[in-house]
Structure 1
Amino acid sequence: MNHPHPSGTAPFVLSVLDNAFTGVGRRVTETYEEIISLAKLADRRGFQRFWMSEHHAMPGAAIPAPLLMAARLTGETERIRLGAGGIMLPNHVPLAVAEQVGMLETLAPGRIDLGLGRAPGTDGATAAALRRHASANEEFPEQIAELLGFLGNDFPQGHPYAGVPAVPGPWQADENRVPRSDTSADVWILGSSVYSAQVAARLGRPYAFALQFGSADILNAMRIYRENFRPSPFLDRPYSLVSIGAIADEDPAEARRQSTSTAMAMLRMFQRKPFALLPPEEVAAYPANFQERQVLEEYTDRTLHGTAEEVAAGLEDLQRHTGVDEVMLVVSGYSRRAQSHTLDLLADHYGMPAA
């Protein structure tokens, strides 16, 4: 893995995560068009990578297959790294994932990231429909090992899959005339706990911590990752990323207003209602009781919101606090304009390339 350098005056690398949230009253086709536009904007403005997340049976989150959208984006962008943040590996067959990644790397050599997580990305019934069984989380390390074996075509002799190549793949042409690919995807370990930090450290892989999900112990996770990191052929020293929600606007009140939509969607999920991104006007009109108001306030404030200067100050405090190498903006808000405007404002603030 190459260690990127910050663009402009940013003290860290900046990237983007799009959850493909589709606001109530909007069409999925609009969301996909806007994701493509946002990826192109992030590419032009010098962001390092553009990731998408995996969700199932959630009408408010429109990407169940992020690698499929990444395939479209390989032809829409020129420089930015593309990938899944992430693929929930227990939902998938490792060989199929390796084959799909090989295709993406062939389409966009050196630009593909593969983030691996173990959460289902959905509810129990949907997880069962995905053929995910109760012990899937415990099998996560074995699944990673199997996937890495396919990606590198390096199963040990005698392994039952040693003669099963993932095509296309990164190996030399031989007497069987297997096609050669000179690059392979960067594999990341994703999580929001010390468990994922231990896995990333043991494998010598970059580590991405999802802070947008809650008040998890990121400091302990980062300490464990750095203290236990084992250099690998893919990474010689620890490299970490933290993702966090962010909305910037010239009017800080509007930025906060947009952030309430995601907070309301989280409240609905806690109430076992469908995850839905409501317009800020509906959120403001909701007759919340005291406990509901506390949840709404908490999740509104978990998104960094305000002017570009205020959001940038929050990002810089977070980076100093955690020591991460990279910060990934989880673009949110009911308005898709709010998301693209956030990227433009922060890119302008940090002197990144002009659109």
Structure 2
Amino acid sequence: MVTLSVLDQSPIRKGGTAAEAIANTIELARAAERFGYSRYWLAEHHNTSSFAGSAPEVLIGAVAGATSRIRVGSGGVMLPHYSPLKVAECFRLLETLYPGRIDLGLGRAPGGDMRTSRALQPGPQAYDVGVFPQQVELLTQFLEDAQGLAGEAGGFPADHPYVGLHATPRGPGMPDLWMLGSGGDGAVIAAQFGMAYCFAHFINQDAGTQPLELYRRSFRASRHLTSPRGSLAVSVTVADTEEEAKRISASRNLWVMQLLQNRAGAFPSTEEALAYPYTDQDRTMLRAIEQRGITGAPEQVRARLLAMGETYGVDDFVILTITYDQKDRLRSYQLLAEAMALNAVAAVASVRSSQ
């Protein structure tokens, strides 16, 4: 059974506000739950006029409070910016508030420019390539200790300098742990610590299947995951017709082009994108951008997603959809859910879990 989740970056449109973007996030989360999506992930970006989501741990609480069943998590927390203990405590509190519904997705990307990263990170060595695995290990140990898994089963060994320090509030629950990545480094770390791995196809489709294959080959079972669990994050735009889907995706495509040209701002309107005076060089770039995602009518998108699932060996997709108009974004997620029969899949899963 194919399962679908949502990745929401809380995009800000031209003429709109950050407050409107956050309100749209809450509205979309409620709709995604109705449509049958499994998870709702909030992204982290800093020092940008394009996205309002700078603190996923805060938005997770708002989204989980506005919904009742869908899992809610980070897509992801950029761990090099933060203390592992502080992240563990944030997610222990979220798990206590919304037991069994919280995901902790981790990433190593800065989520902004390097000047901003220096202002955010807890110490001068946070972006050293060798430090990130140590942060992941500490975070996992704090979470396991808080769950009562000290000693050989998890948490800190007796001779560890942090033994006796606890991520509070303590309790039996544990967020689902995910590593997010767009290349091989994240895949290796996810495998090393026995975490689930989500590959960001929408960022680096040129990597092909290599990151997920590397993850599966290198995977080591952990207390929380005994076999590899892979997912694919894909950019998708669905409309009633292919022509309409291509029309509304013009806004996102222009924004991506301007991002690659270091000129990104708020998301332009569809009309602005369609009327934009593209140069020949722009059009070459635009054709490449259009290949980075899936755009079309429901059955077209369904067929391409299923084909990708066969190629990448996954049956779980995290869907990123950005449109200028909120109604088009809601409609895109609804059409995809209907094409993939998500509510029927959820019903079958519910019956199986109760047996």
Shift of 1:106: 0.8
Structure 1: gaps of 5 or more residues: 1-5, 7-11, 170-180
- CA RMSD after TM alignment: 1.5
1:276-333: CA deviation from partner (whole Å, max 9, x where unpaired): 3111211222222222111122213322111111111111111111001301111212
Verify the 8 A CA contact 1:57 1:122 in the aligned structure 2.
Answer: yes
Residues in 1 aligned to 2:105 and 2:239: alpha-carbon distance in whole angstroms: 30
Which residue number in structure 2 is paired with residue 219 of structure 1? Answer: 209
Query: Which segment drifts farther, 216-225 or 205-214?
Result: 216-225
TM-score (norm 1): 0.90
Gaps of 5+ in 2: 146-154, 345-355
> Which deviations, in whole Å up to 9, do the C-alpha atoms of 1:105-155 show, x marking residues without a partner?
011101110111001000111112213646514111011011111111111
Q: CA deviation at 1:199?
A: 0.9
Once residues 208 and 179 of structure 2 are traced to their aligned partners in structure 1, the CA distance between those partners, rounded to angstroms, is: 14
Q: Deviations over 1:253-273 (max 9, x none)?
A: 221122222222222222222
Task: Give the one of 137, 150, 172 matched to 1:145.
Answer: 137
2:267 aligns with one of 256, 267, 277: 277
Q: Which amino acid aligns with 2:261?
A: Q
Question: What is the match of residue 319 of structure 2?
Answer: 329
* 2:91 maps to which of 93, 101, 104: 101
SS at match of 1:245: strand
Which residue does the alignment assign to 2:127?
A: 136
Q: Pairwise mapping of residues 61-72 of structure 1 onto structure 2 (< 5 A)? A: 61-72=51-62
The match for 2:159 is 158
Q: Identity, % of aligned pairs?
A: 36
Deviates more, 1:79-88 or 1:345-354: 345-354
Residue equivalent to 1:177: none
Taking the aligned partners of 1:215 and 1:291, their CA distance within structure 2 comes to 21
Structure with the higher helix share, 1 or 2: 2
1:85 paired residue number: 75
Report the alpha carbon displacement of residue 189 of structure 1 after superposing the two structures with TM: 0.8
Contact 2:256–2:264 (8 Å) recurs in 1? no
* Alpha-carbon separation, structure 1, partners of 2:261 and 2:334: 35
Whether the 8 Å CA contact 1:263–1:299 is kept in 2: the answer is: yes
Which residue type is aligned with residue 92 of structure 2? G
Assess, with a 3 A threshold, how the Cα gap between structure 1 residues 297 and 13 changes in structure 2: closer, same or farther: same
Task: Find the aligned partners of 1:235 and 1:270 in 2 and give their Cα distance.
Answer: 37
* Structure 2 counterpart of 1:164, one-letter code: L
Counterpart residue number, 2:333: 343
1:203 to 165, 168, 193: 193
Query: Does the CA-based 8 Å contact 2:44-2:111 persist in structure 1?
Result: yes
Find the counterpart in structure 1 of residue 342 from structure 2. Answer: 352
* Equivalent pair of 2:3/2:342 in contact (CA under 8 Å): no
* Structure 2 residue 33 is the aligned partner of structure 1 residue 43: yes
